[in-house]
Amino acid sequence: MKNKSTMKRILSLMKPYSGWVILSLILALGTVISTLMIPVLEGKAIDCIIGKGRVDFTGLYLVLRNIVFVAAVTFLCQWAMNRINNRITYSVARELRQKAFERLLRVPVSVIDSESHGDIASRIITDADSFTDGLLLGFTQLFTGVMTIAGTIIFMIRIRFTIALVVIAATPVSILIARFIARRSYNMFRRQSKDRGDLTEYLDERISQADLISQLGARERSKEEFTEKNDRLTDSAVKATFYSSLTNPSTRFVNAVIYAAVGVVGALLSVAGSISVGELTSFLGYAREYARPFNEITGVITEMQNAFACAARIFEIIDEKQVIDNDGRFDGEVKGKVTMENVSFSYVPEKPLIEELSLSVEPGEKVAIVGPTGAGKTTLINLLMRFYDVDSGAVKVDDRDIRTVSRSALRERFGMVLQETFLFAGSIRDNLSLGKPDATDEQIVEAAKAANANEFIRRLPDGYDTVLTPEGGTLSQGQKQLLCIARLMLALPPMLILDEATSSIDTMTEMRIQDAFARMMKGRTTFVVAHRLQTIRDADLILYMENGHVLEQGSHKELLQKNGHYAKLYRSQYSS
Amino acid sequence: MRFAAHYLADYKKESLLAPLFKMLEAIFELFVPLVMARIIDVGIANNDRVYIIRQGGMLIILAAVGLAVAVTAQYFSAKAAINAAGKMRSDLFFHIMKFSRGTLGEKGTASLVTRITNDVNQVQNGMNMFLRLFLRSPFIVFGAMIMAFTVDVKAALVFAVLIPLLGLFVYLVMHSTLPRFKRIQEGLEKILLTVNENLEGVRVIRAFRVEEAQNRRFREETGSLYRQQIGAGRISALLNPVTYALINLGIATLLLVSGVRVSAGSLTQGESVALVNYMSQILVELIKLANLIILLTRAVSSADRLSDILSTDPDERIHEKEETPSDTADAIEISDLSFTYPRNRDKALSDITLSVGKGQTLGIIGGTGSGKSTLVRLLRHAYDPVSGSILLNGRDIRSIPDQDIVGMIGHVPQKAQLFYGSIRYNLELAKPDATEKEMWDALEAACAREIVEKKENGLDEIVQRGGTNFSGGQKQRLTIARALIKRPEILILDDSASALDMLTERKLRDNIKALPWHPTTVIISQRASSVMDADQILVLDGGECKGLGRSEELLHTCPIYREIYSTQFELKEEA
């Protein structure tokens, strides 16, 4: 059932290329026929060269002219086929990748949060290649193989039926041997890929923590563990490779036996006078290559199965549900009033998180959300930004349900710095101007200065043009956060979200950027999630959350007077 | 090439036997056309049926021996190539484990892992095929030529012209595709990076509404990859067709020459058949070879990427001759220490001088990028000081072997990181022979006993990959326990209690003070309260020492310290 729909998808995917595919198949057929004609022509030529003084030069020239002609046709067919196949394979792979990526930009954040990133990436990168390679090459090989076998048999029967029978009789043997080996090596390959997966996971962990491993003095231990896994992989790889490499010699052997049989039977018939030496030569030409296509076809079947599996994996991404958006817009400037009305939300239905939450924030207010891990602080932000949608109730901005405006219109109004810093592998300048691509150099430096980042950026080898490596290179966590803050300061929307935005920045630096922060927040509705309470004492509203519920809300003073959860948390942080 | 050869050298016997057996196989194959020529020239010409059958038996024997020899060769080559690849993997892994922080960041872990897995695989396939075919193929090609010469010198001249021509062509194709394959590999890496960034940074991308820009970027990258692939494909698409065409033209020429020679009586019909057979054998071999060239070009470019890793110097530090420790010295003695990171302009640390007596506590406080973490890295000799010196127990740090430093210093890094395995396993990483009691003592001191006790399987509770089944605070306490278990003389806590609440942190500090072996302790923190009780506090700013002394002293002498202190204690008054 699933296979059927995958097949359908593949066919519809290939539809725009159907003309090319048909042309490729015609060329493949041309290649097969012209290749098979060569042995016949060789035989004819040999029959023109019988012995001293008995050479038919007129006939020989004619045959040779034909050989040159056939060779030219083979060349053209093969060359054009290769070019067309390349074009189809690479185009389809590109298209698949682009489609998958486009969908990735539109899937709900929950999908990306819940799926393994490595898995998604390998689908887009590796599976796209394996699919197109496997499908097209597999298909061409299967087609050429079957055609070659059929063509060989037809050509042979046309020359002499008896000898053709000798070759055909050996066919099942070729198939059996190829299949036997394929099955044996399949099991070995499975073991190999499991061992390889184990090793890769281990490498991933240890290499990303190499520095820590050396601090712990656990290098030797890691080496031992690695060696054990590596040896296991080596062992299964030797076996898998050896078994699969038996195919070639075995087929060659079967071939050689067929060759000998054809030679003997042909020679005996020739003695009896029913076949010429040239015809025998043609037969030998066919026999020499007879088993090869069988060998290829057996390989093709596993390859095509694999291609199918890969296709299904990419289609899963392309078919992933996407967020439904409307094109509603806010009327005019957003003032920044934010309300939540009876909001309920949970990531998994069995585990209710936020239940019946209501709150109201006036424009320009600073709201702080505090509470233990797992209280739902970050979830509130997910809902505000519509990374997730509420299960029931409503979030409103300027009294308008945020589900009635487009996500883009909503997010345009929010600026955000998260605890998990994220910077692109690009120059510092590009990273800072992410939200404002037309920012001038002065504006960028200005923002960096405000975020206290200018100094360390200047110290980097190429200043603002320093290209960050994929993992942020030598920048510390705090420095990365400063860059994220500078990025926000450059493009200032009317509402701000700071989710542990200064968690990795030390108190001193934090103090230095406090003024800039205060200026930034002025007149802007701001949501702050903070661990260190000193930064949020001046908030207009503090929400104390636990298990998805707001247990207390009020100003710092009010909450301290109340002497409840917040007061307890505060004292635990600041009395020594 | 030389890279792979170096590794195969460890499996000399197999690497030599594999091609040798392949060569034997080739020899048996080369006899086949000769036998067939005899069948035609002797058997058919003389109507000798018995001779024909006997020669037929000869062909089967050749085939059987060929099979046995080939299987042996495949075994040796698989063994040599795969074991060499295994050795490559472990050399790479061992080498990478020595990389300094900077080198690791520069190369990127993802790329390093790809090299150990994918690139080694490519090289392995390349070596395997090389052993199997790169000697067999030339041997068949030249063998067939030599056999042709033994049949007829004049006709064999066709071979002598054609083979160099084919060789040249194959070389040209290989030469021009190699750099293209390298670029394709780079193109793939680029799109992988884009995909990864869009997964990791999904929130930032959506918040900044740069989806369209990302889409354009991806389209450009896949587009340029496509052009690279088509470009490389244009050349490799010629490989098979040209080989076929040249061989077929060769066969035509050969038949023409044979016609003339047979007509003159200097060649027989059977010998002509043999010559054509030799030419066809060359064709089959070259087609195989041509397809392998693609594999080999990939292997060569992978091998380049591997030797690039192995030639990266992981350790630029100086190790001096051993000095004798003096028991009276201070635990840590730093004088005029300055440091600049490689490839950076500005000093990360300048002119730091201090000493910490045995069992004393040093607090370090300072801003982001002030040099706190740099100082810790220098203390555990991750880098050499650029000028000045560090003495541990009176010994210059450059003269202490790495494993001694590891034994001496227990360091809890900023980011708490646990490994896949049990809690027990994680503790054993630091002390392989730790007893049950030692584990519980360390956990107790790190305020982590209750975390483990609450788990169903206690010490044997599995830590998921990345430690995802523990909260930040739990991870921090477990990593502290891991540092304590080997009873280090010097304990360094690099902001490692940031996720703990004040009460737990205070308890932890008391526990550390009460440790029975009285370690010298270095505490780095953002909280004045964490370092307040230290015997001395170092205030760092921009890599420079802005104050050194007890908290009370610094309050008078160091404005920066006073500033930090006051923000936190103002709060207290208010509360």
Q: Note the pLDDT tens digit of each residue in A532-551.
A: 777 788 899 999 988 888 88
Say what the alpha-carbon torsion angle A438, A442, A446, A447 is, to the nearest 10 degrees.
20
Q: Return the pLDDT at B574.
A: 40
Residues of chain B with Cβ-Cβ distance to A215 below 8 Å are 380, 406, 409, 411, 413
Block residue for tokens 């290939």: A14
- Position B320 in a domain: no
Count of CB atoms situated within 10 Å of the CB of B448: 25
Nearest-CA residue of chain A relative to B574?
A557
Chain B contacts in chain A segment 143-182 (CB below 8 A):
none
Q: A508 and B366: CB-CB below 8 Å?
A: yes
* DSSP state letters, B362-394: EEEEE-TTSSHHHHHHHHTTSS--SEEEEEETT
The Cα B524–Cα B346 span in angstroms is 23
Q: Return the pLDDT at A1.
A: 41
The Cα A266–Cα A159 span in angstroms is 11
Task: Using the Cα atoms of residue A225, residue A230, residue A231 and residue A233 in order, give the sign of their dihedral.
Answer: positive
Residue A121 DSSP SS3: helix
Judge whether B344 is closer than 8 Å to chain A, CB to CB.
Answer: yes
Length of chain A: 576
Q: What is the 3-state secondary structure (H, E, C) of B226-291?
A: HHHHHHHHHHHHHHHHHHHHHHHHHHHHHHHHHHHHHHCCCCCHHHHHHHHHHHHHHHHHHHHHHH
Q: Return the pLDDT at A432.
A: 92
Q: Return the pLDDT at B572.
A: 45
Q: Are B141 and B163 a contacting pair, CB within 8 Å?
A: yes
Judge whether B51 is closer than 8 Å to chain A, CB to CB.
Answer: no
The Cα A398–Cα A362 span in angstroms is 9
Q: Among B277, B310, B343, where does a domain finish?
A: B310
Chain A contacts in chain B segment 399-428 (CB below 8 A):
402-403, 406-407, 409, 411, 413-415, 417, 419-420, 428
pTM, two decimal places: 0.77
- Position B327 in a domain: no
Judge whether A474 is closer than 8 Å to chain B, CB to CB.
Answer: yes
Q: Nearest Cβ partner of B269 from A277, A570, A575?
A: A277
Chain B contacts in chain A segment 302-361 (CB below 8 A):
none
Indicate left, alpha or beta for A92 from its phi (over 0: left) and psi (-120 to 50: alpha): alpha
Q: Are A378 and A353 a contacting pair, CB within 8 Å?
A: no
- Position B323 in a domain: no
Q: B417 and A560: CB-CB below 8 Å?
A: no
Residues B71, B166 within the same domain:
yes
Residues B306, B338 within the same domain:
no
The Cα B447–Cα B454 span in angstroms is 13
- Give whichever of A203-217, A497-511, B378-392 has the largest mean pLDDT: B378-392
Range of the domain at B498: 332-574
Residues of chain B with Cβ-Cβ distance to A385 below 8 Å are 203, 206-207
Q: A60 and B255: CB-CB below 8 Å?
A: yes
- Who wins on pLDDT, A74 or B163? A74
Identify the CATH number of the domain in which residue B48 sits. 1.20.1560.10
The full set of domain ranges for chain A reads: 1-159+297-321, 338-574
Task: Using the Cα atoms of residue B200, residue B205, residue B211 and residue B214 in order, give the sign of their dihedral.
Answer: negative
Distance (Å) from the alpha carbon of B233 to chain A's nearest alpha carbon? 6
Q: Nearest Cβ partner of A574 from B53, B117, B571?
A: B571
Q: Return the pLDDT at B282.
A: 84
Q: A249 and B191: CB-CB below 8 Å?
A: no
Indicate left, alpha or beta for B518 from its phi (over 0: left) and psi (-120 to 50: alpha): left
The Cα A447–Cα A459 span in angstroms is 17
- Position B133 in a domain: yes
Judge whether A67 is closer than 8 Å to chain B, CB to CB.
Answer: yes
The Cα A189–Cα B151 span in angstroms is 46
* Per-residue pLDDT tens digits for A285-329: 888 778 778 777 777 777 787 888 888 889 999 998 888 888 888
Number of domains in chain B: 2
Residue type, A274: S
Nearest-CA residue of chain B relative to A44?
B255
* DSSP state letters, A431-442: HHGGG-TT--HH
Q: Are A512 and B567 a contacting pair, CB within 8 Å?
A: no
Residues B356, B295 within the same domain:
no
The Cα B372–Cα B543 span in angstroms is 8
Residue type, A569: L
Q: A105 and B222: CB-CB below 8 Å?
A: no
The Cα A374–Cα A202 span in angstroms is 30
- Position B200 in a domain: yes
Task: Using the Cα atoms of residue A533, residue A535, residue A540 and residue A541 in order, give the sign of their dihedral.
Answer: negative
- Who wins on pLDDT, A440 or B280? A440
Residues of chain B with Cβ-Cβ distance to A34 below 8 Å are none
Q: Which CATH class is domain A1-159+297-321?
A: mainly alpha
Enter the tokens of residue B335: 């004088």
Q: Return the pLDDT at B575.
A: 37
Q: A211 and B382: CB-CB below 8 Å?
A: yes
Q: Are A398 and A335 a contacting pair, CB within 8 Å?
A: yes
Task: Name which of A56, A66, A69, A78 to mutate to probe chain B: the one with the most chain B Cβ atoms within 10 A of its Cβ.
Answer: A78
Angle made by CA atoms B506, A504, B492, in degrees to the nearest 5: 50
Q: Return the pLDDT at B308.
A: 87
Residues B166, B231 within the same domain:
yes
Q: Distance of alpha carbon B280 from its chain centroid, rounded?
A: 43
The Cα B353–Cα B567 span in angstroms is 28
| A338-574 carries CATH number 3.40.50.300 | yes
Q: Return the pLDDT at B67.
A: 92
Q: Return the pLDDT at B324.
A: 61
- Position B326 in a domain: no
Residues B30, B148 within the same domain:
yes
Q: Return the pLDDT at B571.
A: 44
Q: Are A77 and B248 a contacting pair, CB within 8 Å?
A: no
Residues B223, B124 within the same domain:
yes
Residues B337, B481 within the same domain:
yes
Residues B209, B356 within the same domain:
no
Contacts of A393 (CB under 8 A, 6+ apart): A340, A341, A342, A343, A344, A356, A357, A358
Query: B536: part of which helix (H) or strand (E)?
Result: strand B536-541
Q: At A347, give phi and psi (nearest 5°).
A: -75, -40
Q: Are B97 and B310 a contacting pair, CB within 8 Å?
A: no
Enter the tokens of residue A331: 């009327």
Q: Return the pLDDT at A374.
A: 66
Contacts of A350 (CB under 8 A, 6+ apart): none
Residues B372, B258 within the same domain:
no
Residues B354, B272 within the same domain:
no
Residues of chain A with Cβ-Cβ distance to B542 below 8 Å are 455
Judge whether B72 is closer than 8 Å to chain A, CB to CB.
Answer: no
Q: Among B310, B344, B376, where does a domain finish?
A: B310
Q: A560 and B575: CB-CB below 8 Å?
A: yes
Q: List chain B pLDDT tens, one digit each, 575 residues.
A: 678 888 998 898 999 899 899 889 888 888 888 898 899 889 988 889 999 999 999 999 999 999 999 999 999 999 999 999 999 999 999 998 888 766 776 777 777 887 888 889 889 988 988 888 877 888 888 888 898 999 899 889 998 998 889 889 888 888 888 788 888 888 888 898 899 889 888 888 888 888 999 999 999 999 999 999 999 889 888 988 998 899 899 999 999 999 999 999 889 988 998 898 888 888 778 877 777 777 787 788 889 888 888 888 776 666 666 666 666 678 899 999 999 877 666 788 989 999 999 999 999 988 777 888 889 989 988 888 889 999 988 888 888 888 888 889 998 988 888 998 999 999 999 888 999 999 999 999 999 998 899 888 989 999 887 777 887 788 999 999 999 999 999 999 988 877 777 778 888 889 999 999 999 999 998 777 888 889 999 998 888 898 999 988 999 898 888 887 877 665 444 43
Calculate helix-pair angle for B436-445, B472-484, nearest 10 degrees: 130
**What Å distances lie between residue B239 and B11, B464, B567, CA to CA?**
33, 50, 75
Enter the tokens of residue B490: 């010097």
The answer to which of A381-390, A549-558, B106-115 has the lowest mean pLDDT is B106-115
The Cα B527–Cα B366 span in angstroms is 10
Q: Nearest Cβ partner of A256 from B66, B248, B542?
A: B66
The Cα A167–Cα A179 span in angstroms is 19
Residues of chain A with Cβ-Cβ distance to B78 below 8 Å are 238, 241-242, 245
The Cα A284–Cα A291 span in angstroms is 13
Average pLDDT over residues A469-498: 82
Closest CA to B531 of B558, B106, A187: B558
Q: What is the 3-state secondary structure (H, E, C) of A479-533?
A: HHHHHHHHHHHHCCCCEEEEECCCCCCCHHHHHHHHHHHHHHHCCCEEEEECCCH
Q: Are A369 and A543 a contacting pair, CB within 8 Å?
A: yes
Q: Judging by DSSP bridges, how do beta strands B536-541 and B395-396 pair with one another? A: unpaired
Kindly state the DSSP code that residue B70 receives in the 8-state scheme. Answer: H
Closest CA to A422 of A414, A412, A413, A434: A434
What b/e string do you get for A273-304 counting C-beta neighbours within 10 Å, with b at 16 or more? eebbbbbbbbbbbbbbbbbbbbbbbbbbebbb
**What Å distances lie between residue A440 and A140, A423, A446, A462, A519, CA to CA?**
55, 20, 10, 18, 21
Residues B47, B164 within the same domain:
yes
The Cα B39–Cα A267 span in angstroms is 7
Averaged pLDDT score across all residues of chain A: 86
Contacts across the A-B interface (CB distance below 8 Å): 458
Residues B251, B349 within the same domain:
no
Average pLDDT over residues A160-169: 85
**Reduced DSSP (H G I as helix, E B as strand, rest coil) percent helix, strand, coil of chain A, to 5:** 65, 10, 25
Task: Using the Cα atoms of residue B264, residue B270, residue B271 and residue B275 in order, give the sign of their dihedral.
Answer: positive
Identify the CATH number of the domain in which residue B433 sits. 3.40.50.300
Average pLDDT over residues A421-442: 88
Q: Return the pLDDT at A473.
A: 59
Block residue for tokens 């982001």: B368
Q: B195 and A511: CB-CB below 8 Å?
A: no
From the number of C-beta atoms within 10 Å of its C-beta (0-12, 13-18, 19+), residue B286 rates as buried
- Please check the confidence at residue A526 and state whether its pLDDT lies above 80: yes
The Cα B81–Cα B122 span in angstroms is 11
The Cα B384–Cα B39 span in angstroms is 79
